[in-house]
Amino acid sequence: MIEGVHFVRAVRKGKPVRWYVYAWRGGPKIMQAESAGKPKLTKEALEALGIAHKAANSPPPDTLLSLIREWRPNSPEWKDLSDGTKRVWGYQLDLIEGKWGKTPLSIWSDPRMVKKVVEWRDTRASTPRPADMGVQVLFNLLAFGRLRGRVTVNVAADIPRLYKGGDRADIIWTQDEIDRFCVAAIQLDRPQLIDGIYLAALTGLRRQDLVTLTYDHVGEFAVVKRALKRSARKRRFARMPLIPELDAFLEELRVRYRKPGVDTLLVNSFGEPWTGDGFGGSFNRVRDLAAITHWDDETETAKRKHLHDVRGTFVTKLCVETDLTDKEIADVMAWSPERIGTIRRVYVDDASVVVALGERIAAGAVKRSVKRSASNGE
């Protein structure tokens, strides 16, 4: 018998015992039967039970909660998110549901709600990145609702971010930092992380694409795979040109121990594919031991560099080793040409100027030495 179903027995003199069956105590009636013993639920009763529970658990259709339930978990837009994004956004969506789930959808078409959204963001200002993430999730929820005619405007659009450290355009890993990372990886007995950071620096791939990359994704001239992270709210292919340095490194990776059936380029110490979280956690421990940081001028503090910043290292290689323009590199990275220009100016052009100055200084020193020798009759 299904738990929670409520049976009421009615005894009538000279007549069969009648049973009234309810979905739950105080709930709607789903069956009526005459039987000496407790009756079994019919197919129709089971269907009525399911409908009753669904109706009881369904939020009113004119509330924000109904839009949340429509978006998560079964909409095409939600299903297309990566597992990591679902986890992070899901937490923020729970907060939105707790605060505004019962509010009528009609007020979300009122531009005056912008003020309420900003106030909610400001109450979380002590943790600016999660606060910004909450607004981002609300924006995507309302965008979903607008496309389905549930709201007419998106009051979470164009709200400035609180987090000021989000622009990492000029942050890359230098070769010295990569060398220090490799030393730390050996110290922690994590030599597999060395493969990871070099593959990141030679392909520019994000973490989840790095750990799922196989030799089937590597063509004659480019790495091409379905990107596992959404960019600009739509899935895209990661297409990274092969640079000469990568060819030799790919041959090195072929000799790594792998369990049968494993075809990913990167493997952990057991010869198995990395998970994204497993690789990220191990990477961060090595980075912290190596003390790889950058100086944040706004906060005047040293902050950790991220695996994501290694993508900037790949950009410098494209600037130095290819004749691609900033626009072409930007298309490869799905970044703006201005961001590529910043990296080129800071890490490529300025470095070239410094090297040229050093060469001029050295050449001048040689000339002065020659002149002195000549004047001394040597």
Give the Cα-Cα-Cα angle 144, 150, 153 (nearest 5 degrees): 75
Specify the pLDDT at position 364.
Answer: 52
Specify the pLDDT at position 96.
Answer: 96
Specify the pLDDT at position 370.
Answer: 47
Specify the pLDDT at position 25.
Answer: 83
Name the percent of the chain lying above pLDDT 90. 57
User: How many whole angstroms separate alpha carbon 253 and alpha carbon 85?
Assistant: 30
Specify the pLDDT at position 81.
Answer: 85
- β-pair partners for 10: 18
Specify the pLDDT at position 267.
Answer: 97
Specify the pLDDT at position 175.
Answer: 92
Q: How many CB atoms lie within 10 A of CB 275?
A: 13
DSSP state at residue 226? E
User: How many whole angstroms separate alpha carbon 166 and alpha carbon 142?
Assistant: 24
Specify the pLDDT at position 229.
Answer: 57
Residues 33 and 21 sit within 8 Å (Cβ to Cβ): yes
Specify the pLDDT at position 52.
Answer: 81
Specify the pLDDT at position 236.
Answer: 57
Residue 149, H or E segment: none
Integer-rounded Cα radius of gyration of the chain? 31
Q: What is the pLDDT along the chain (378 residues), one digit of tens a residue?
A: 678 899 999 988 888 999 999 988 888 899 999 988 899 999 999 998 888 887 767 788 899 999 998 999 889 999 888 777 888 899 999 999 999 999 999 999 999 999 999 999 999 999 998 999 999 999 999 999 999 999 999 999 999 998 775 556 578 999 999 999 999 999 999 999 999 999 999 999 999 999 999 999 988 888 887 765 554 444 456 788 889 899 899 999 999 999 999 999 999 999 999 999 999 999 999 999 999 998 876 667 888 999 999 999 999 999 988 999 999 999 888 888 988 988 888 888 765 444 444 555 555 554 455 445 555 555
Give the Cα-Cα-Cα angle 347, 348, 350 (nearest 5 degrees): 75
- Render 59-70 in DSSP notation, one character per residue: PPTTBHHHHHHH
Specify the pLDDT at position 231.
Answer: 47
Tokens 């980075």 belong to residue: 287
Domain range list for the chain:
6-57, 64-147, 175-310
Specify the pLDDT at position 3.
Answer: 80
CATH 2.30.29.30 fits 175-310, yes or no: no
Amino acid identity of 260? P
Q: What is the pTM assigned to this prediction? A: 0.61
Report the DSSP pairing between strands 222-226 and 237-241.
Answer: antiparallel
Question: How far is the first Cα of the chain from the last one, in angstroms, to the nearest whole number?
Answer: 111
Give the Cα-Cα-Cα angle 321, 306, 313 (nearest 5 degrees): 5
What are the residues whose beta carbons fall under 8 Å from the beta carbon of 155, sequence distance 6 or more?
108, 110, 111, 113, 114, 117, 142
User: How many whole angstroms separate alpha carbon 328 and alpha carbon 142?
Assistant: 34
